[in-house]
Structure 1
């Protein structure tokens, strides 16, 4: 067998991922993100965030990482909990929380049918925890109520059913704010039966900004809370830290969760640079959220003025709309958007505004919808009595691909 020289092996191993145009490519990407309405997860770190992150400590988080520990302690104090745990993603945070709460099957988790833990985490509750899910449609069409929960929690000893051990709420859910008094009422009921309440607070930053309620007050009713740094806030704040979420709860709960994080393959090494990015987002990006909400309301008002049906209003950073009320389809909007001198990136029925959304993107979107509506009207379109062409939550994670002709 012919032996290769170390130099030849090293030559095979090396890799340069930086293209000659990567600086220009990144500038173009940032411009595209300013005109992208598909999600707030697409926001990117700024130069200033990068510079701050490079000053972080370089410990190993499986053992001890000072910058990451400082973030975890701050998040626990901010939310009024005893301890925190930095994890790679919101999905990891939710699934680690469920696995840490759920001890001995059979058991089930009760949540909204639209909840991220149920609909967008690849069946994680069943796979990781062996848990059944009781997914409820809110009776008021907006949020789960105490009556919804009391009527559907599985209690008692009937062996036909998997008892409810965790009730999981989400705030915001698809951009809508869960009334705090309802969360408190549900929490009191859940705890009166010795069960646990988990709060998916991926975008709870928006609730704090919009309602001017402290994070501690918002998180007090829950035994555990997941807070995301790569959504509403960028990493947290729409201007984003590049990765990560924080799970908070009691000291004993977080000790168990740290073990489960390792079991799931989520133990990380030099996370200081990520923790620093999150800290930067908390400090400099959170104050920008009120402007995001104002821009979302401007977008909503513009669509209503055109005659477009709003199926879920801009309570924070999201709007769901149905353009069939003016005779227009999502694909027609996507086609027209892709033909603009500076294209817009759309995601079906959901419009998400974030810190890096430009005001010109909102104006251009409204202009093209108005133009399409006028064209349809000129062609003889008459608005029917009922125009909704599907769920307001249709295709919310799908990037619309315009149909191109040869």
Structure 2
């Protein structure tokens, strides 16, 4: 080997070298964990525990495009507990939803019917149109809470009229903004859909919360659907991953679509191990998460804050203008506390790493602000006959 080649290689090695681990990494991570315990922005921000990582690194080695034993075991387990034949591990909830929809949709023209607040409609970058060429009918539920069979019947498209793209998939979400979709309504919608040859997809990213809160098995919750997406990295606190479940034929096709979307992964054993740890150890923590959310809701009510969406599981939406302030003012003052709180608008989310102290400090901050505004002359608007407030501007942040 020539000296010039050796020098060139040495130079390239020097350029390529990267060390991400600082001398203060351990202390920095502990500080971050402490901050996450006081963050109400989302439940996606949870950090894997040392115990979760220790379990994950013991998982098998293997390339998941070919065969990865731990990942396949995770897929089989979640398929079993949801009452489906097979499962497919993917990197995110958005990917799981979009692969699920694309797998269900065979030949355009077609329409997906969903709630106007649905993640697949509002927060997946127009994926249904881009990936599947699908039109979306987004419905505003008449009851303001969840779609009903009447909502579906009033908007579903079927029959011979060539002016309309027929509804091929009804996509529901449970929970949606933290609220629980009544199972009897889901069953009624599913029976109607099947009578018309329409497929059912569930964005069940937080379906774990429904099972924990209602005591209803995942199998019962998922039975009305042909495909279901479930997330490990939201309420369950795993670092990465969602799973799509359905029939064996469906998942076989979905696996090809995953590859088409660039979603094939290699050494996924570590991720599967973390997800398995979350199922065993973090799922049982969800009732406490819900209790913290209810404590927040009641505390805000006691202060005089208007609740826009109650704490059915891990989220509440509240109205800052109802006490004469703004979300920005609350967030800015929260950051100035001796132990800062991290907030993101009208949505407040509790998660498995939220502390009781963080909830108490948030309620004290709101109480202090409400008292200041009252002393400054703020009077809460009167309620209309329809139960809505006058001139209240609400900014929802997701």
Q: TM-score range by the shorter chain?
A: over 0.9
For residue 387 of structure 1, report the CA deviation from its aligned partner: 5.0
Q: 2:47·2:239 contact (CA, 8 Å) conserved in 1?
A: yes
Partner Cα separation in structure 2 for residue 11 and residue 335 of structure 1: 44
Match among 374, 386, 390 for residue 377 of structure 1: 374
Give the 5 Å matches for 1:289-304: 289-304=286-301
Q: Is residue 2:21 matched to residue 1:18?
A: yes
Q: 1:324·1:388 contact (CA, 8 Å) conserved in 2?
A: no
Task: Please list the CA deviations of residues 69-125 of structure 1 after superposition, one character each: whole Å capped at 9, or x if unmatched.
Answer: 000000000100000000000000000001000000000100000000000000000
Q: Match for residue 316 of structure 2? A: 319
Q: Is residue 2:207 matched to residue 1:204?
A: yes
Partner Cα separation in structure 1 for residue 115 and residue 25 of structure 2: 43
Partner Cα separation in structure 2 for residue 219 and residue 232 of structure 1: 18
Q: Match for residue 246 of structure 2? A: 249
Q: Is residue 2:33 matched to residue 1:30?
A: yes
Partner Cα separation in structure 2 for residue 185 and residue 395 of structure 1: 31
Q: 1:300·1:314 contact (CA, 8 Å) conserved in 2?
A: yes
Match among 344, 350, 360 for residue 363 of structure 1: 360
Q: Match for residue 396 of structure 1? A: 397
Q: Match for residue 112 of structure 1? A: 115
Partner Cα separation in structure 2 for residue 19 and residue 157 of structure 1: 65
Q: Match for residue 307 of structure 1? A: 304
Q: What runs of 5+ residues in structure 1 fail to find an aligned partner?
A: 235-240, 398-406
Q: Match for residue 222 of structure 2? A: 219
Partner Cα separation in structure 2 for residue 395 and residue 214 of structure 1: 32
Give the 5 Å matches for 1:7-406: 7-234=10-237, 241-385=238-382, 386=389, 389-391=392-394, 394-397=395-398
Partner Cα separation in structure 2 for residue 331 and residue 106 of structure 1: 44
- Number of residue pairs matched? 388
| Structure 1 residues 255 and 127: alpha-carbon distance in aligned structure 2, compared to 1, 3 A threshold | same
For structure 1, which segment, 320-329 or 114-123, has the greater mean C-alpha deviation from structure 2 after superposition? 320-329
Partner Cα separation in structure 1 for residue 257 and residue 236 of structure 2: 26
Q: What runs of 5+ residues in structure 2 fail to find an aligned partner?
A: 383-388
Partner Cα separation in structure 2 for residue 157 and residue 17 of structure 1: 61
Q: 2:65·2:264 contact (CA, 8 Å) conserved in 1?
A: yes
Task: Please list the CA deviations of residues 278-332 of structure 1 after superposition, one character each: whole Å capped at 9, or x if unmatched.
Answer: 0000000000100000000000000000000000000000000002111121111
Q: 2:42·2:348 contact (CA, 8 Å) conserved in 1?
A: yes
Partner Cα separation in structure 2 for residue 209 and residue 310 of structure 1: 23
Look up the SS of the partner of 2:154 in the other structure. helix
For residue 19 of structure 1, report the CA deviation from its aligned partner: 1.1
For structure 1, which segment, 14-23 or 118-127, has the greater mean C-alpha deviation from structure 2 after superposition? 14-23
Partner Cα separation in structure 2 for residue 156 and residue 352 of structure 1: 43
For structure 1, which segment, 152-161 or 78-87, has the greater mean C-alpha deviation from structure 2 after superposition? 152-161
Look up the SS of the partner of 2:205 in the other structure. coil
| Structure 1 residues 179 and 288: alpha-carbon distance in aligned structure 2, compared to 1, 3 A threshold | same
Partner Cα separation in structure 2 for residue 313 and residue 269 of structure 1: 41
Partner Cα separation in structure 2 for residue 135 and residue 151 of structure 1: 12
- Normalising by structure 1, what TM-score? 0.94
Q: 1:325·1:388 contact (CA, 8 Å) conserved in 2?
A: no
Q: 2:321·2:393 contact (CA, 8 Å) conserved in 1?
A: no
- Normalising by structure 2, what TM-score? 0.96
Look up the SS of the partner of 2:295 in the other structure. helix
For residue 345 of structure 1, report the CA deviation from its aligned partner: 0.5
Partner Cα separation in structure 2 for residue 138 and residue 390 of structure 1: 21
